[in-house]
Structure formats: C-alpha cells, structure tokens
Structure 1
Amino acid sequence: MIPRTLHVIWVGDESKRPDNCITTWRQHNPDWTVRVWGNDDLASYGWVNAAHMREMAKRELNGVADLMRWEILYHEGGFVVDADSICKRPLAPWLFEGEACASWENELIRPGLIAAGYVASIPENPFFGQMILDLQKEPTVVDRMAWQSVGPLYLTEQVRMQRYTGLTIWPSHFFIPRHFTGLEYTGGGPVFAGQEWGSTLGKYDELHKRKVA
C-alpha cells in the first residue's frame, strides 16, 4: 500500500517557506504523517543524482525539488505534494488504492501532460527507480527548462517510454482546479487542493505571508 506520509519539499530561502500552505495539509489530514524536506536533507540524504541537484540549484530550485521528489518516492513511498499547494478537504482513501498515482496538469490546456506536483507511490517502485537511473546517465539536466528535463514532461515521457501501466492518473481538478493560464474548473466534482503556481507565477515572495485557510 501507499504509505500515509505526505512529503513536502522546500529548498532555498527558508524564510519564504510557505508554512501557511503546508499547515492546511496537516489540518485536513491528521491521520497522515507530514514530512518537510529542506536544505539539511538536500545536503545529507545521499541522493543518487546529487550532482544534477547541485547543477540545477544554480538555475531552478523547483527543478531540484523534482529531482528530490523521484528519489523520495522510491525510497520512502507516500504522497509528494508541492509546497505551494493548499489542501481544501481530507484526502479520500480511495485516491490511493493503486501502486502509483499522479494528476493530469490540465486536460484542455496541456492534454496528455502528467503533472509532477502531486505524485504518490509505494516504496521501491521499479518505475521510479528506473527514472532515477535514467537521470543519472544524463550528462546534464540544465540544457532545457526544469519542467522538461526533470519535471512533468520527463515524468510523462518516462511513463510512455517504460510503458508503465501501473499509474492511476487523477483528473486535474482534484488537485489543480485552476491552471496558471487562468482556466478554472467549474464542475461539481471533488476538489482536494488548490495550486498557487509559486514558481511559474513568481508568487513565493508573498505567498508565505498570505492567509490561505
């Protein structure tokens, strides 16, 4: 089973960590363990792709978080959520009945693209293990934007390349009801979280100061 552990990654300026957003996950899911990964973990965990993380840190910290995400999922299992996400309601157990889960980014704006911000897995899932090994073979990961080389596009390409059939893909409105382009879900289905697009829209300077719940 997918462990009931919520992982949140925040590296960089700790004074801007959106603890207000992270707290919403604790409030709505008291039966889950919430683990926040930070600069100390980045320095000491023993990452397979530590060299790529150091290189990526000079350009895009969100890319460092993506690189950490895949190794956390493989070694720890659980559910990794973006630091700039705001939980709206308790996580339903049926969401995590499979061996791995993720969300579409948006079926209308970016059809076929799997988001990297909400991914869950059992520990030692060979799919994520292969992702890590394939990244290790890459001479560099900063030849493209991070979302392409280590984030959602990389995840999507890996699902297709490995022909991975164990992934349950949630509709985007479960966790990303509003796309960064402004398109917003208006249906009556369940919305478990909202995405603030902190890196994409440059919100991290003020997000940690806002009242979010």
Structure 2
Amino acid sequence: MNILIPKLLGHIWIGPNPKPTQWMNTWEKKHTDWKYTVYDNNFLNNYHFKTRNLIEFYYKLGLYAGVADLMRYEILYEFGGFIPEADSICYHNTNELFTKKQAYTVYENEFIRGNLVAPIYACEPKNEFVGQLINELLQLTPLDLDYPWISTGNFFVAKMIQKYNPDITIFPSHYFNPIHYEGIVYNGDDKVYSKQLFGSTSAKYKKSINPINIFKAKQQKKMRKIFLKKISERKKEKFSIDF
C-alpha cells in the first residue's frame, strides 16, 4: 500500500502536567514502522516557530490547546506526517488512510456544532493549505486571539476550508471520535481507528502536584478570567460550514 505522507507519527504534549503515556503508547504500538516523536516543552522552547508571539500568549494563560494547534501546523508544514490527539486510544493502524499527498482532518461530529473539523491531523511536507493556515495566523496579534477553538482550532480550520477550498480529506468523525463529549455515540459497523477521550474537556488528565506548578496554575486561572471576560464582550461570528 502506498502511503504518500512521511511515516512520522507524533504527539504534542506541553505544559506542566504528566503525559498520558498509557494512551499515547497505543499509537506507537499500532505503528511500529513509523518514526515516533513527542513534541514536548523542550521542542517548544528550542524550535523556531513563526507564530511564537501567539504561542507564548496562549501558554502564559495556560490555554495549551491553542499552543498545540499553532505548533501542529508548523510541525506538519515543515516535516509532514501524522499528529493525532494525545488524549486518544488507537485501535488500528492507519496506513490505509493516507494514500494521497494532501491535508487530512476529521469532523468533530457531523450532527452538532456546525460541522466543525479538528485541527489538521496529517499532510505531506510544505502542504499548500497548511501553509495558508500559517500565513493567516501570522496576520494576528495576541490581542486578536479568542478561545483556541475559535482562533486556532476547529472553527478556524473550518472557516479556512470554506475560504480556500483546498485539496483535503475530511474523515467521518467515527474514525477518530466515535463518542463525542456531548454524548453522541457512533453505533455503525464501519472501522473505528481510535477513540478520543477529550482529556481537557472531561478533566481526565493527571495534574501536576509540584507546588510551583500549582501556584502557576492559579495565576494562569486569574489571567484567563480577565482574558475570557474581554472576549466575551466581543460579538461572536455566526458560522456554519458547508462543503
């Protein structure tokens, strides 16, 4: 079978909390012929990210999902490969999915939240659409940022798909998200490659017990409260994707 993206499997894990290695290891075990990398705090600190100003802003607020989104696009653009969510359990090898040189993502769920899609999961190096995402983000300043899912994640990617009409595969949600955190469950017979556990949303991640990290988390919570109060005053854009 021809796999037309690099066989580079990775997870992004940044911040003070311990990695969910029991989940992450399931991916490596099902992809033994792929090179596996964890893009961690050391990688974050040492790699030259073009969107560094946005990354640092989200990081200071403890909005790590936004940091991971921004890292994801630049890593995939530079190296290509496949970066599934760290808070998921892999059931099957995914080689058969990546048979074209293009970007790949997945619906969050086809029946709710306006057909939003996940941040880009996979692509070949220098993918045109992923480059367009990065260029769009480079137009922003920290003052332009909203909740991560709006500014850098699901909503942002869906909006850019509508704008650029790229060559992209959007997998059905049950491939990677058969059980949505709002309770919608896939009961069909099609293959399910993994199950996302929505670690941040469902608070399933283990927390750091380091006193310094606990203090930092409290400070981040205060800063987030101020940030979220400001953006709650903005008029939210109405958006429904159709492609």
Q: Could you state the TM-score of these two structures normalised by the residue count of structure 1?
A: 0.90
Aligned pair partner of 1:104 in 104, 107, 112: 107
- 1:106 Cα deviation from its structure 2 partner: 0.4
1:64 and 2:67 correspond: yes
| Residue of structure 1 equivalent to 2:193 | 192
Q: What is the rounded CA distance, in whole Å, between the counterparts of 1:29 and 1:141 in structure 2? A: 40
1:55 and 2:40 correspond: no
Paired letter, 1:10: W
Paired letter, 1:66: D
- Computing the radius of gyration from Cα coordinates, the structure with the larger value is 2
- 1:26 Cα deviation from its structure 2 partner: 1.1
8 Å CA contact 2:73–2:134 kept in 1: the answer is: yes
SS at the partner of 1:134?
helix
8 Å CA contact 1:69–1:80 kept in 2: the answer is: yes
Q: What is the rounded CA distance, in whole Å, between the counterparts of 1:142 and 1:12 in structure 2? A: 23
| Residue of structure 1 equivalent to 2:33 | 31
Q: What is the rounded CA distance, in whole Å, between the counterparts of 2:66 and 2:31 in structure 1? A: 27
- 1:195 Cα deviation from its structure 2 partner: 0.3
Task: Tell me how large the CA RMSD over aligned residues is.
Answer: 1.4
**Structure 1 pair 55–142 and aligned structure 2 pair: CA distance change class (3 A):** farther
Paired letter, 1:122: E
Q: What is the rounded CA distance, in whole Å, between the counterparts of 2:33 and 2:172 in structure 1? A: 24
Aligned pair partner of 1:124 in 102, 123, 126: 126
| Structure with the largest fraction of strand | 1
- 1:3 Cα deviation from its structure 2 partner: 0.8
- For these two proteins, the number of residue pairs brought into alignment is 202
Q: What is the rounded CA distance, in whole Å, between the counterparts of 1:62 and 1:153 in structure 2? A: 13
Over residues 51-97 of structure 1, what are the superposed CA-to-partner deviations in whole Å (9 max), with x where a residue is unaligned? Answer: 11000112201110010000011001011111111101222x33101
Q: What is the rounded CA distance, in whole Å, between the counterparts of 1:10 and 1:83 in structure 2? A: 7
- 1:129 Cα deviation from its structure 2 partner: 1.0
| Residue of structure 1 equivalent to 2:232 | none
Q: What is the rounded CA distance, in whole Å, between the counterparts of 2:34 and 2:125 in structure 1? A: 16
| Structure with the largest fraction of helix | 2
Q: What is the rounded CA distance, in whole Å, between the counterparts of 1:111 and 1:142 in structure 2? A: 23
| Residue of structure 2 equivalent to 1:168 | 169
Identity in percent: 37
Gaps of 5+ in 1: 207-213
8 Å CA contact 1:56–1:141 kept in 2: the answer is: no
| Residue of structure 2 equivalent to 1:181 | 182
Q: What is the rounded CA distance, in whole Å, between the counterparts of 1:158 and 1:111 in structure 2? A: 14
| Residue of structure 2 equivalent to 1:209 | none
8 Å CA contact 1:102–1:115 kept in 2: the answer is: yes
| Residue of structure 2 equivalent to 1:77 | 80
- 1:111 Cα deviation from its structure 2 partner: 4.0
Paired letter, 2:162: R
- Report runs of 4+ in structure 1 exceeding 6 Å deviation: none
8 Å CA contact 1:56–1:142 kept in 2: the answer is: no
Q: What is the rounded CA distance, in whole Å, between the counterparts of 1:109 and 1:130 in structure 2? A: 27
Larger CA deviation: 24-33 vs 133-142: 133-142
**Structure 1 pair 142–83 and aligned structure 2 pair: CA distance change class (3 A):** farther
8 Å CA contact 1:141–1:150 kept in 2: the answer is: no
8 Å CA contact 1:113–1:153 kept in 2: the answer is: yes
- 1:127 Cα deviation from its structure 2 partner: 1.1
| Residue of structure 2 equivalent to 1:6 | 9
Aligned pair partner of 2:24 in 13, 18, 22: 22
Q: What is the rounded CA distance, in whole Å, between the counterparts of 2:132 and 2:108 in structure 1? A: 23
